[in-house]
Amino acid sequence: METVGVVGLGIMGAGIVEVFARAGLRVVGVDVDEAAVGRGRGHLELSTGRAVDRGRLAAEERAAILDRITLTPDRGALADVDLVVEAVPEVMELKRALFADLDRICKPSAVLATNTSSLSVTTIAAGTSRPSQVVGMHFFNPAPVMKLVEVVTTVLTADGLAARIADLAVRLGKTPITVGDRAGFVANRLLLGYLNHACRLLGEGVSGRDDIDVAMREGAGLPMGPFQLLDLIGLDTAYEICEVLFHETKDRRHAPSPLLRELVAAGRRGRKTGEGFYARTETPTLLDEGPKVAVTSVGIVGPHPEHLLERLDAAGFKATAGDIPDDADVVLAICPPPVVEAAVRLPHPDRVVGLHLAGDRVGEVASTVLTAPEVAAAARDLVRVVGRVPVACADRAGFVVDALLLPYLNDAVRMVESGYASFADVDTAMKLGCGYPQGPFKMLERLGLETVRDGLRALYAEYREPSFAPAPLLERLVAAGVRSTGDLTPNR
Ligand code: 3HC
């Protein structure tokens, strides 16, 4: 394949054009009119210009890349290309109409690919006269950066085509995984359940926008918080993917959160419209203003208080573990929710907060229904004293990090259990498609399968959400004493 076409020159389409042109292919980029083509040109100039500014691309190389690209509103220019990748909005009727047109315009040997995030590739393929030459070629945003390409095959796909597209992806410097045609494929199916759940936690007041983003970035080690990522993906796109996922899975966690719907209806669609959860230049910021109690004496309840005691002592506080003195100004209860059950057994329940150390950098500070706000604020300062970033949240199962991370890990196990994808492909998808430092199975291994299973049981007990119940395969792995999924095969 030497000449390719890309239809739709939004951020994703323009990124795909750049990827092809950087790999030395000639690209014809098409959009509906001159204005849309101009916007696409703008994306390309900005992205390649930034690479030159950062010293990642020589000015001559940039010129050569741009020279390989032809942008036009005329679909007829696609008549001789070997492959077309479609990247238009996620509306089935739009895609079906476009593919009917491409089928008519493109030479008979051309492969037609869709970059759909979640729509049925089979339905798109079936609407053409060449269904065996239609595949999914799913890139990740920002396309020039993220290394994953999901190659989606259908029951109609010709033998050998997936391998050809996978080879092409390798030529583009990407890592392909080949998957079947299920809503959300691998990465979006896992990612959107998590992002939508973050919207629900925010909507239900379990924690704040910036707190949740900081918790997931600093506490779970993800490259972006969920709301920053939703702004990058586009809230309308995320909404549509959730709709399609819910339609297929009937899992309530995929039903688009009311908050997402409200923002989309309000036109706040994320970076593409300048504002989504955040305004364009805004970043997550934890402001901790307001009154705080003065703290001299700190009590610590729960296991392994030594490190905290040492740090607080060194900072000049009178810190006590075990028998909490009556005069403790703040009590840090390291215990699972409901923390309030521990609080009511202490002399001053209003002075008690839950504390959960998430990863190496975050301390989640949970206010119970009895905690005084001035105490919670002072507790967050204590978390800073012990060298962590404090995240404020409510006294709910899993606080923030585990409430978001553990169901995602469980979903990954279910995906393998259903035979849809292998452990290795799922890990690759999340690392290379979403920039996660580890795939879910490496993460499971690090956290401990039993710990994750127990956390899920607690989440299920509180929320009664069926998909929070530990996946049967996870239960079996724990029962078998398996610590690493590395040596296992699916569906054992
Ligand atoms: N276009 C081109 N290049 C970009 C870019 C863009 N929009 N944004 C960032 N980059 C490049 C930068 O130029 C830089 O390159 P360099 O190292 O060669 O100089 C590199 O990416 C890192 O950028 P920054 O230093 O500015 O920023 P970060 O280190 O914070 O990384 C990020 C930015 C790569 C976006 C990182 O935060 C990340 O991996 N985030 C997760 C993104 C993600 O999950 N994407 C998938 C979303 S789901 C999806 O797309 C599927 C769809 O169907 C919905």
Residue entry with tokens 């989640």:
364
Q: Collect all residues with Cβ–Cβ distance below 8 Å to 375 and sequence separation of at least 6.
A: 293, 329, 330, 350, 351, 352, 353
Residue nearest to atom 23 of ligand 1 (CA): 145
Judged by DSSP in three states, 180 sits in coil
Q: Is 142 in the pocket of ligand 1 (CB under 6 A)?
A: yes
Q: Is 188 in the pocket of ligand 1 (CB under 6 A)?
A: yes
Helical segments of 207-353, H only: 209-214, 226-233, 235-249, 258-265, 306-314, 339-343
Residue nearest to atom 13 of ligand 1 (CA): 51
Residue from 204, 252, 224 nearest 396 by CA: 204
Q: Is 157 in the pocket of ligand 1 (CB under 6 A)?
A: no
The backbone torsions φ and ψ at residue 94, rounded to the nearest 5 degrees and listed phi first, read -65, -45
* Residues 144, 169 contacting (CB under 8 angstroms): no
Buried (b) or exposed (e) across 103-119, using 16+ Cβ within 10 A? Answer: bebbeeebbbbbbbbbb
| Tokens encoding 8 | 């739709």
Q: How far apart are CA 405 and CA 42, in angstroms?
A: 37
Domains of the chain: 3-179 (3.40.50.720), 187-265 (1.10.1040.50), 297-394 (3.40.50.720), 403-479 (1.10.1040.10)
Q: Is 89 in the pocket of ligand 1 (CB under 6 A)?
A: no
Q: At what angle do helices 34-53 and 11-22 cross, to 10 degrees?
A: 60
Catalytically active residues are 117, 138, 150, 188
Q: How far apart are CA 284 and CA 216, in angstroms?
A: 11
Separation of CA 176 and ligand 1 centre (Å)? 18
Count CB neighbours of 396 within 10 A. Answer: 21
Q: How far apart are CA 391 and CA 368, in angstroms?
A: 14
| Tokens encoding 125 | 């393929």
The CA angle 68-147-22, to the nearest 5 degrees, is: 15
Q: In a structure prediction context, what are the per-residue pLDDT tens digits for the chain, which is 492 residues long? A: 889 999 999 999 999 999 999 999 999 999 999 999 999 999 999 999 999 999 999 999 999 999 999 999 999 999 999 999 999 998 999 999 999 999 999 999 999 999 999 899 999 999 999 999 999 999 999 999 999 999 999 999 999 999 999 999 999 999 999 999 999 999 999 999 999 999 999 999 999 999 999 999 999 999 999 999 999 999 999 999 999 999 999 999 999 999 999 999 999 999 988 999 999 889 999 887 789 999 999 999 999 999 999 999 999 999 999 889 999 999 999 999 999 999 999 999 999 999 999 999 999 999 999 999 999 999 999 999 999 999 999 999 999 999 999 999 999 999 999 999 999 999 999 999 999 999 999 999 999 999 999 999 999 999 999 999 999 999 999 999 998 887 665 444
Q: What share of the chain is helix, strand, coil (3-state, %, to 5)?
A: 50, 15, 35
